[in-house]
Amino acid sequence: MISVKNISKKFGKLQVLKDFNLEFQLGNSYALMGPNGSGKTTIIKTILGMVMPDSGEILVKGQPIKGSHSYRQDIGYMPQIGRYPSNMKIGQLFSMMKDMRPEIKNYDLDLVEAFELDQMKDKAMGTLSGGTRQKVSAALAFLFSPDILILDEPTAGLDPIAVEILKAKIKKERIAGKLILITSHIMSDLEELTNQAVYIFEGEVYFNDTIESLKEITGEDRFSPAIAKLMQWTLKKKATKREMSHVETT
Amino acid sequence: MLKLLKYALYDILKSRFAMIYTVFMILVAVSIYQVSDDLSKVSLSLMNIMIMIVPLISAVFATTHFYNNLEFIELMLAQPVKRSHVFLSQLLAVILMLSLSILIGFGLPMLLWGADSSLVTLLGVGVILSAVFAGFAFLASVLTRDKAKAIGISLGLWIYFSLVYDGFVLYLIYSFADYPLEKVTLGLVMLNPVDLGRILMLMQLDISALMGYTGAFFQQFFNSSMGILVAGGTLFIWVLWPNLLAMRVFKKRDF
Amino acid sequence: MKPLALSILFFFCLIGSPETLAATVRITPGQSIQEAVDRASAGDTLTISEGTYKQFGIIIRKPLTIIGENYPVIDADFKGNILIVATTNLTIQGLKLINTGRSNMDDSAAIKFFDSKNCVIRDNILENTYFGLHFSNSSQLTIINNKINASALKEFEVGNGIHLWKCKNSYIGNNQVFGHRDGIYLEFVTNTQAKGNLVERNMRYGLHFMFSHDNSYIRNTFRKNGAGVAVMYTKNVVMRENRFEENWGSSAYGILLKDISDSEVVGNVFLKNTVGIYMEGSSRIEFKNNTFRENGWALKLMASCDQNTFQANNFTQNTFDISTNGSTVLNTLTENYWDKYEGYDLDKNYVGDIGYRPVNLYSVIVEKIPAAVILWRSFMVTLLDRMEKIIPTLTPDEMIDESPKMRPYDFG
């Protein structure tokens, strides 16, 4: 469904992605993990076309995304922090998003109803709390029933009730066979919502397999310690690398 | 594109800044109308203020607006729309808002108390300068990743075109006073949009003095529609290039 | 009484036919005007009927009254002068004189007067003439209501509209002169008045006089002439209520005053000229109640001028009020209204409490480098001017109106 092929990206002198390869399949839910600055956000933005790779290509549904914008019709994106024009009303934001996809006539209003956004249609975005803005972002991501959902820290800032509603919705879509990509720092959420773990470290895929095999490899039977172990390994690897380079130079 | 523009405009027109700017322009125009006893004195005073204020406000506001809306721009980029449309909707919304503030702020008092051709020219020059400096501001914004730096560049351009450039031209004229400099100075003026706007106004207010210029070329330039056409056409190029360049950069920029 | 009657009868018999006492002769197209003039006696009236007369070089040497009916056209077909006059008590009225020769060898004119006196030239229409009305060494002329219109493209292709050389005691009134080299040209002309003339679009000067003392110019309009009005080497000139408008160009002036003295310039309007008044070598001129409006420079006052007084004039919307080339000021400015004056009037006597310096820094710069005018009204130049207003360095300190008016005068 999404093929990331040999992507390299430098920001200035900093090599963020190096010959990066990944495949995301329909029907799977991926937990995208890695320490800060590992390239998670960059890979999401590259898939969304917000960051232009220096080399390599990305295929969505078999079509290269370069120079195309219509493929984004199949992607629902929920940003980490949704900030909107402060004088725009919720209702206007929704109609604008709808105007951008004139071909889609059937809307998935599950979250709109669950979050009771309908009653707040005339509220300006600037007056909303951070949590409500997240609800709006979430509702927008699911509004057009896209095949691909990219959720960046979806539960951050939401109240417990909303978190449960959103999680239930994500699960429902996963069962419906969507491709879901989630980044989060909350391990329990990831364990609950995903079946595939992708661990990125310094611009390279360090681990990419099912959660079961992750647990097997690390010898942990719970998700969170398994990830912690993975992180420790990567740090060790980094240390050896450093040592080796030290040896090399002397 | 038009749909995006509609929503961007809706947001920007309701902003507190748009209100304050319009009210400020109205206050300036009303007070000048009150103290001046004839129309050309009004357009003189308004011009002095406009040539200074409009580029400054346009540059600062457009930069601030771009950075304040950066997250929203990012969200729009994740939608199935063309990048150029996202850019143009933001840019045109800013230009339209700035223009409307001038047209309402200066235009309303004109409707009430009368206007002459120089005042109408003034409105046109105001709109064009807004577009030019909004273009510079967007260019500075897309070229940098830091709001403070972008505002710095915009302010720098404003100071350069409003003050430094003219100082340089005056220095040049002074240093080479013994040479025939008319064509050179006219050419140099073409390289500064603020000067071009000013020349369009001079052609209305000080045509008698401009006709003191020696040489048939200038008589023709200032006395016929050619001067207005050339200055207006060059200003149009000044509107186009920063904006188009900013769009080019925007289309390839990482967010 | 009988001897007197007899002697009159005898006198008539001597001359010829008795009808010539006040005879009226009618001339119709096809007839020679010259022959009619030659046949006519002094004091006769020649009536020229409507129509076209292809004739030129008609010489008149006797007092006659020549009247055209419905503007008969005398067409010289571009050959020489049309009428040549040397006489007294001649009246020429209602003729349409067109297409004189183009030569500047003999200065072809529609009507050329030599050594004449007491002549009236009125209600004539002149078109396409080289010189219009040309007078030499004549006096007591009345030149009124003529329309003189040339359509040359170049200055050397045309002579002057109304040209007087060595004339005196004359009146030039309500004429219209368009498209000649100089509209009205006076040289060595004295005690003459020009009043209510409209002089427009002439190649060089609207009015041009030299060595013409004791003349007055009243309620004339000089508009869009190539270089405005130039008057030189003359004393005792009166200029009242004239209008000088839209004289545009690098050396175009409302009036150029050169070596004029003991004169008065009162109640005139200077509108939209590149330079309202340019003066050099002039002294003891009184400028009063004039309006200077929308000129590039209202006044250019060269340092060679002294003892001139500028009192109670309005200066509004001029790009520059006054510029000068020297630092010494020997002229007086008083009680004028300056729209650029930014002072205050605390004692409410309608006179500003601080003086006004009408020479601004930038006009001094533009005087030296004309190209610099292009930067006028830029922010930087405005800053420079402000600084100069606070600490005058380049502008003459004594050029100041100590009693600037707070409100413009109403001259009606």
- B74–A79 C-beta distance less than 8 A: yes
- Chain B contact set for A82 (CB, 8 A): 71, 75
Phi then psi for A114, rounded to 5 degrees?
-60, -40
pLDDT interval class at C16 (50, 70, 90): very low
Q: Above 90 in pLDDT, residue A223? A: no
The percentage of residues in chain A with a pLDDT greater than 70, rounded to a whole number, is: 95
What does the pLDDT read at residue C249?
83
- Which residues from B are below 8 Å from C316, CB to CB? 38
pLDDT digits (tens, 9 = 90+) for A28-42: 899 988 888 788 888
Of A245-249, B234-238, C194-198, C207-211, the poorest mean pLDDT is in A245-249
Looking at the complex, report in whole angstroms how far the Cα of residue C47 sits from the nearest Cα belonging to chain B. Answer: 48
* CA distances (Å), origin C379, targets A85, A114, B53, B195, C383: 36, 60, 11, 10, 6
Chain B nearest-CA distance from C374, in A, is: 7
Average pLDDT value over all residues in chain A: 86
- Whether residues C197 and C234 fall in one domain: no
DSSP codes, chain A = -EEEEEEEEEETTEEEEEEEEEEE-TT-EEEEE-STTSSHHHHHHHHHTSS--SEEEEEETTEE-TT--GGGGGEEEE-SS----TT-BHHHHHHHHHHH-TT------HHHHHTT-GGGTTSBGGGS-HHHHHHHHHHHHHTT--SEEEEESTTTT--HHHHHHHHHHHHHHHHTT-EEEEE-S-HHHHHHH-SEEEEEETTEEEEEEEHHHHHHHHT-SSHHHHHHHHHHHHHHHHHHHHHHHHHHH-
Touching subunits for chain A (3+ Cβ pairs under 8 A): B
Whether C411 shows a pLDDT value over 70: the answer reads yes
Residue C372 lies inside a defined structural domain of this protein = no
Considering the domain architecture, whether residues C258 and C157 belong to the same structural domain is answered as: no
Chains C, B in contact, 3 or more Cβ pairs below 8 Å = yes
C217 located within any domain: no
Portion 21-60 of B in contact with A at CB < 8 A: none
| Residue C306: pLDDT over 80 | yes
Residue B168 host element (H or E): helix B165-175
Q: Are C157 and C179 in contact (CB under 8 A)?
A: no
Q: Which of B32-36, B54-58, C274-278 has the lowest mean pLDDT?
A: B32-36
Residues C232 and C192 grouped into a single domain: no
Q: Which of C12-26, C37-51, C68-82, C357-371 is least confident? A: C12-26
B12-21, B119-128, C381-390: which has the minimum mean pLDDT? C381-390
Give the pLDDT of residue C134: 95
Mean residue pLDDT of chain C comes to 89
Q: Choose one of C175, C207, C239: the last residue of a domain.
A: C207
Give pLDDT, residue A241: 52
C243 plus C325 within the same structural domain: yes
Question: Residue B59 and residue B65: Cα distance in Å, rounded?
Answer: 10
Of A68-77, C102-111, C217-226, the one with minimum mean pLDDT is C102-111
Residues of A in Cβ contact (< 8 Å) with B69: 85
Whether C109 and C89 have beta carbons less than 8 Å apart is answered as: no
Are B208 and C295 in contact (CB < 8 Å)? yes
pLDDT band at C21; cut points 50, 70, 90: low
Residue C337 lies in a domain: yes
For C297, name the nearest residue in chain B, comparing CA atoms only. B209
In a shared domain, residues C126 and C200: yes
Last-in-domain residue among C176, C207, C238 = C207
| Region C272-281 average pLDDT | 93
**Cβ–Cβ gap A84/B75 under 8 Å:** yes
Looking at residue A40, its pLDDT comes to 85
Nearest beta carbon to residue B162 from set C372, C373, C379:
C379
Q: Which of A17, A41, A100, A101 is the best residue to mutate to test the B interface, defined by the most B CB atoms within 10 Å of its own CB?
A: A100
CA separation for the pair B100, B118 (Å, rounded): 19
| Residue C1 banded pLDDT, cuts 50, 70, 90 | very low
Domain that holds residue C129: 21-207
Output the CATH code of domain A2-249. Answer: 3.40.50.300
Does residue C172 sit in the same domain as residue C305? no
Predicted confidence band of residue C386 (pLDDT cuts 50, 70, 90): confident
Q: What is the pLDDT of residue A249?
A: 41
Report the chain A residue with the minimal C-alpha distance to residue B14. Answer: A87
Cα C179 from Cα C150, distance rounded (Å) = 5
Domain annotation covers residue C216: no
- Statement to judge: residues C110 and C174 lie in one domain: yes
Q: Binning pLDDT at 50, 70 and 90, where does residue C19 land?
A: very low
For residue C222, is it within any domain?
no
Q: Check B7 against A88: CB less than 8 A apart.
A: yes
Share of chain B above pLDDT 90, in %: 52
pLDDT for the residue C8: 55
Q: Round to whole Å and give the CA distance between C167 and C146.
A: 19
- Measured between CB atoms, which of C274, C371, C379 is closest to B163? C379
Asked if residues C310 and C403 have their Cβ atoms less than 8 Å apart, the reply is: no
Q: What is the pLDDT of residues C333-350, one digit of tens each?
A: 999 999 988 888 998 899
pLDDT at A141: 92
What is the structure's pLDDT at C17? 47
Same structural domain, C194 and C342: no
Cross-strand bridge partners of residue C171: C142, C193
B4, B8, B78 member nearest A50 (Cβ): B78
B3 touches chain A (CB under 8 A): yes
Residue range C222-274, pLDDT digits in tens: 999 988 899 999 999 999 999 999 998 888 899 999 999 999 999 999 999 99
Interface test with chain A among B11, B73, B74, B81, by most A beta carbons within 10 Å: B11
Q: How far apart are CA C72 and CA C49, in angstroms?
A: 6
Residue C12 covered by a domain:
no
In chain C, residues with a C-beta closer than 8 Å to the C-beta of B181 are 369, 371
| A224 touching chain B per CB within 8 A | no
C13 pLDDT above the threshold of 50: no
The answer on C190 and C43 residing in a single domain is yes
Residue C11 lies inside a defined structural domain of this protein: no
The answer to whether residue B141 scores a pLDDT higher than 70 is yes
Query: A14, A17, A50: which to substitute to probe chain B, counting the most B Cβ within 10 Å?
Result: A50
Is the residue at C35 inside a domain? yes
Closest partner residue to B80 (CB to CB) among A52, A82, A100 is A100
Q: Which two tokens stand for residue C5?
A: 């009657």
Is B82 close to A69, i.e. CB distance below 8 A? yes
C137 and C248 co-located in one domain: no
What pLDDT score does B149 carry?
A: 94
pLDDT(B61) > 60: yes
Non-local CB neighbours of B232 within 8 Å, separated by 6+ positions: B200
Range of weakest confidence among A15-19, A132-136, C95-99, C282-286: A15-19
Interface membership of B119 toward C (CB under 8 Å): no
pLDDT computed for residue C20 by the predictor: 47
Number of structural domains (chain C) is 2
Residues C98, C179, single domain; the answer is yes
Q: Tens digits of per-residue pLDDT, B64-117?
A: 999 998 888 988 898 899 999 999 999 999 999 999 999 999 999 999 988 888
Is residue B80 less than 8 Å (CB to CB) from chain C? no
Q: Of B14, B74, B80, which has the smallest distance from its Cβ to A87's Cβ?
A: B14
Q: Which pLDDT score is estimated for C366?
A: 85
